[in-house]
Structure 1
């Protein structure tokens, strides 16, 4: 049986982005790194964690703005979808990253849907486009939790008015990828509090009341 996964949340940057530090024993990974990650770095160093990797749900600035700073302290691979790389060619005013490329132009290893082992735990990478074309979610079945970036929030869903966002795709991703997970699965979003699959099935106003009962 896999050892227990510990989850710590760091709310980073002006957009109050949730950055997650996952650990099992003395090994750790990070999911999303918001702007100004100094508290995250200090925690990793204080605990003496052997940081193994960074996983990114998508390429918006508030979720990747601190990656280079973390990489300056820890030599680890970054895993993300290459489908969001186009944002580097679009201006910030239009929802892209062009003016910040020098701050966020780090190397990453493209990752797609499928099963992996992370920290000795089974992890499923879920393709969940809509907020961005390359949005990913990371599901840990043994720990009954999923990290979804800006796909869904407590009684809300992610915005789709930024470059190549799609409302129908986002709703489809939630229905076909997230809402098929066990009801007790905890949802860790990119902003705001944790919620659960069953809570969103029953209470999220973007879905018909009772449709999943």
Structure 2
């Protein structure tokens, strides 16, 4: 089994976590924040073969740098098209319409299920709530999950943005994340890494 290395790049004005996952010279990226120059330089520095970009959801702070990465690397982008509606909404309505020049890239729709990525299993988890199309990516052998803006250390994602749902978000966490092994590391879209057991025991949204 290839050992998975995870590097975090905090990008853009919203300090969005972008993750570079690599194993034996191959790599993927999960989410690409605004101004990914440091990410691109790091991939080049390590001589990695970038294989794909995976997106957790379509908010601009998580996809704003995708086109820049694609200008340097020709790779597929995977995402959930349930967030496509955001492209039709104006910025005033918390959508992306006025930003299409910067974020209009082709992507392949990815469905929940098991995939082989970087030589190991990756489970694509359907975790709506922050957005309808929010996804999480779980690597069982490495004991880590990339959860976007679903859950943070002692906090959860916003649900006051278009088609956000607090009930769906909490249900996603309980049914998709809290069933993972307690020591699973959770890499969120913002802020520090946490673990499943830490959130079960300390997150105020779940403590009775």
TM-score band (shorter)? Answer: over 0.9
**Superposition map of 1:1-213 within 5 A:** 2-209=1-208
User: Per the alignment, in what secondary structure is the counterpart of residue 208 of structure 1?
Assistant: coil
Return 113-122 or 88-97, whichever deviates more: 88-97
CA deviations on 1:135-186 (whole Å, 9 max, x unpaired) are 0000000000000000000000000000000000000000000000000000
Return 200-209 or 60-69, whichever deviates more: 200-209
User: Per the alignment, in what secondary structure is the counterpart of residue 168 of structure 1?
Assistant: helix
C-alpha distance in 2 between matches for 1:121 and 1:32: 20
Return 91-100 or 68-77, whichever deviates more: 91-100
C-alpha distance in 2 between matches for 1:53 and 1:47: 16
CA deviations on 1:13-44 (whole Å, 9 max, x unpaired) are 00000000000010000000000000000000
User: Per the alignment, in what secondary structure is the counterpart of residue 72 of structure 1?
Assistant: helix
C-alpha distance in 2 between matches for 1:28 and 1:208: 37
Aligned-pair CA distance for 1:3? 1.2
Aligned-pair CA distance for 1:112? 1.1
C-alpha distance in 1 between matches for 2:28 and 2:191: 21
Give the root-mean-square deviation of aligned CA atoms: 0.5
- The TM-score, its normalising length taken from structure 2, stands at 0.99
C-alpha distance in 2 between matches for 1:94 and 1:198: 36
- The TM-score, its normalising length taken from structure 1, stands at 0.97
Unaligned runs of 5+ in 2: none
C-alpha distance in 2 between matches for 1:169 and 1:110: 21
C-alpha distance in 2 between matches for 1:14 and 1:121: 33
Unaligned runs of 5+ in 1: none
